[in-house]
Structure 1
Amino acid sequence: MAHGGNPVFNGKNFRGATQAPPAPQAYGQNSYGQPQYGQAQYGQAQTGWNPAQQGMTQNQLQDMYNRPAAGPADTGRMTFDDVIMKTAACLVAVVAGAAVTLVVAEGLAYMLMIVGALGGFVLALVNTFKKQPSPALILAYAALEGLFLGGLTRILDAIYPGVGLQAVIGTLSVFAVTLVLFKSGKVRATPKAMRFFMIAMIGYAVFALINMVMMWTGAVDSPFGLRTSVEIFGIPLGVFIGLLAIGLAAFSLIMDFTSIEAGVRAGAPQRFSWTAAFGLTVTLVWLYVEIIRLLAILRGSD
């Protein structure tokens, strides 16, 4: 299973995948699906296949044999449909949270944005290190992130009209293209790509930390810190950093898809579809933030 891109999946490996209940078997079949033909256990008399003694008619017995084999959903295992439905629920929570900060008074919206940023960060850590997924905590995380994204969008959209809609379209486009490339097999989370990803992620994290400290201490007074105060050939540094970050987020989606596919194939318990949905939500939130920030930097340099 791929690791590294989204820490949500790291260390979990969908624990409990082997704990999913076995597929139900028709009466009178052993663990290999072969009829027992009235075989008696040691010290017991053979009873044979007498439908009357088993309390079943011949038609009922035949109907049981004719039923299709139990699928993953019937045996409590994770399926792609489960992941899709739970991811959709998380995204609805994100949209609902964003709608709140978009319609309330401006001062309250900013306060809710801060609450969403801090609360979302805390719940992200809780859900990441929690061994068993909690649907309530995951949905709460999504709603808090919605508050943060709604407030951020409101601020930037007031300065650069239309940037919010452009960021939504950009996020959906990157997600769709990444999914198509993954399904086609053209892009995979190979060990070599993973190593490059980890190196790039560490570099990006160091830059983000330095930039944040310099903004807090007043070392730079640019709205985006070093991203806009430093230029390379007349192009803001934030453009290059933003493109790198979007590429990293897109590859993180590839690793999310890989982890989900591995979980389904391993027969992971159905509850881990919430873990998969949470992982995708984390990555999509990150992707949206990077896209709207890049768009704002590009619009500000016009």
Structure 2
Amino acid sequence: MGVFGLQTSNPAFNSYFWKKSRNYTKDKMSINGIILKSFAMLTLVTITATYTWQLFFSGVSIKWYTAIGMFVAIFCSLFISFKHDSSKYLLPIYALAKGFFLGGISAYAHKHFPYLPFQAIAVTILTFFVMFILYRFKIIKVTREFRAIIITAITTIFMLYFIGWILRFLEIDVSFLWGTSWIAIGFNTLTAIVASFSLLLDFYYIDRQLGRYSKEREWLATWGLLITLVWLYVEVLRLMKKLAIRF
């Protein structure tokens, strides 16, 4: 059972994107291929993030780097969503653009709270491996009910964020989204937990497709994992900033 016809929290792992390809190849998806592509894309993210970071601390304004990076990443994701065969070509652009965005928000956070981004990265990496172990040893089973709950939670969260961004442009403050109250911290904690559980759904859908679809689909799988990891890092960073302000 899904929400709005979706079968997973991540559009990259929706059944629409995994329908049988017309281009048949003997080479099939493999976990090694996904791992290699993930490391390559994360390297691209790191390159542009480091560059933006250095610009910021050398006194250069990075406002446009961060904003343009965010919008380019959104455009690439939307295009891949409707034209999934383009993931092979657009994913590197997405990774580079996302690096500008992440480098920008991380530099701002580091300026006010030294080393906070590095702590957020460590928490994100640790969470990834914890979720993988929980999935690998079936400590948490990804059942239909579990998927339905996580999908519903993610859909609700993103709808709230979307409404919150619109209201923010209208100069209407939604304190539980952007504030530092205990309610805001509670909401941010919930979103970070949901982002963590989203990794389990990603593992589940990748696991189901290994050896069944063409090797080209490894790009789509990598895109899906990257989306979740970036979301998790952003939520963890926001939560840690709010806690740092409170304490």
The counterpart of 1:287, out of the listed 212, 215, 232, is 232
CA distance in 2, matches of 1:277, 1:202: 21
What is the CA distance between 1:274 and its match in structure 2?
0.7
Report the residue type matching 2:46 in the other structure.
V
Q: Mark the CA change 1:230 to 1:158 in structure 2 (over 3 Å): closer, same or farther.
A: closer
Opposite residue 169 of structure 1, the aligned amino acid is: A
Comparing 247-256 with 12-21, which one deviates more in the overlay?
A: 12-21
Alignment gaps of 5+ in structure 2: 1-5
Structure 1 position 264 matched with structure 2 position 210: yes
Tell me by how many angstroms 1:107 deviates.
4.0
What is the correspondence of 1:240-255 to structure 2 with a 5 Å cutoff? 240-255=186-201
Question: Is structure 2 residue 61 aligned with structure 1 residue 115?
Answer: no
**Normalising by structure 2, what TM-score?**
0.89
Query: Would you say 1:209 and 2:155 are equivalent positions?
Result: no
In structure 2, what is the Cα distance between the partners aligned to 1:196 and 1:301? 31
Match of 1:9 among 10, 13, 19: 13
Structure 1: how far apart are the matches of 2:81 and 2:68? 19
1:71 matched residue in structure 2: none
Instruction: Give identity over the alignment, percent.
Output: 24
For 1:139, give the aligned amino acid: P
Q: Within 2, Cα distance between the matches of 1:124 and 1:277?
A: 12
For residues 190-226 of structure 1, what are the alpha-carbon distances to aligned partners after superposition, in whole Å with 9 as ceiling and x for unaligned?
1111221122123212322333233322233xxx843
Q: Distance in 2 between matches of 1:13 and 1:129?
A: 9
Equivalence for 1:131: 84
State the 1:227 CA deviation.
3.5
TM-superposed CA distance for 1:259, in Å, is 1.3
Alpha-carbon deviation of 1:133? 4.1
Aligned AA (1:5): S
1:230–1:96 distance in 2 versus 1, CA, 3 Å: closer
The 1:141–1:262 alpha-carbon spacing in structure 2 relative to 1, beyond 3 Å, is: same
CA distance 1:256–1:158, shift in 2 (3 Å) = same
Change (3 A) 1:92 1:84: same
Distance (Å, rounded) in 1 between the aligned partners of 2:98 and 2:178: 25
> Which of the residues 28, 36, 39 maps onto 1:88?
39
Given residue 30 of structure 2, which amino acid in structure 1 is its aligned partner?
A: T
Q: Which residue identity is paired with 1:155?
A: Y
Match of 2:177 among 224, 227, 230: 227
Residue of structure 2 equivalent to 1:172? 125
- Alignment correspondent of 1:52: none
1:202-257 deviation digits (Å, cap 9, x = unpaired):
3212322333233322233xxx84335474xxx2x221111211121112111111
Report how far residue 156 of structure 1 moved: 1.2
Unaligned 5+ segments in structure 1 are 22-74
Write the distance in 2 (CA, Å) between the matches of 1:200 and 1:277.
23
Residue aligned with 1:134, SS: helix
**Could you say what secondary structure the match of 1:268 adopts?**
coil
Whichever of the two has the greater Rg, that structure is: 1
In the TM superposition, residue 188 of structure 1 has moved relative to its aligned partner by 2.8
CA distance in 1, matches of 2:157, 2:96: 27
Instruction: Name the structure with the higher helix share.
Output: 2
Aligned-residue offset at 1:18? 8.9
Aligned pairs (5 A) from 1:128-207: 128-207=81-160
Provide the rounded CA distance (Å) in 2 between the counterparts of 1:19 and 1:205. 34
Moved over 4 A (4+): 17-21
Change (3 A) 1:14 1:228: closer
In structure 2, what is the equivalent of residue 77 of structure 1? 28
**Matched residues, number:** 240
The separation in 1 between residues aligned to 2:155 and 2:31, in whole angstroms, is 31
* Separation of aligned partners in 2, 1:199 and 1:164: 29
